[in-house]
Structure 1
Amino acid sequence: PELLVDVNLKALVVASYKIIDRIGKQNGGKGGVIVNMASIAGIASG
């Protein structure tokens, strides 16, 4: 369960912060919007 959380939740948060550091206007980037999408298919079995 911990690996699942690391991959599916923590990785999203870490990646978002890295992207913010790179595209943020305060760091010389153009700015922008981060859109995180998820699906119930990620937790549904079948």
Structure 2
Amino acid sequence: KPELSVDINLKALVVASYKFIARIGKHKGGKGGVIVNIASTAGIVSG
């Protein structure tokens, strides 16, 4: 089901980003940084 796939993939991205922020954030003694999320449409394009 496409909705389930999007839900799982989107939640994974959000959860991973928040966990990464918590780990590298200056408020936790980290150096700070930037998170760059990259996606591809290759998985949904046929041909």
TM-score normalised by the chain length of structure 1: 0.81
Moved over 2 A (4+): none
2:10 aligns with: 9
What code does the residue aligned with 1:41 have?
Answer: A
TM-score normalised by the chain length of structure 2: 0.80
In proportion to residue count, which structure has more helix? 1
Give ranges in structure 1 of 5+ residues lacking alignment.
none
Residues matched between the structures, number? 44
1:43 aligns with: 44
* Aligned-partner Cα distance in 1 for 2:43–2:24: 28
1:19 aligns with: 20
The CA RMSD over aligned residues, in Å, is 1.1
Give ranges in structure 2 of 5+ residues lacking alignment.
none
Identical columns (%): 75
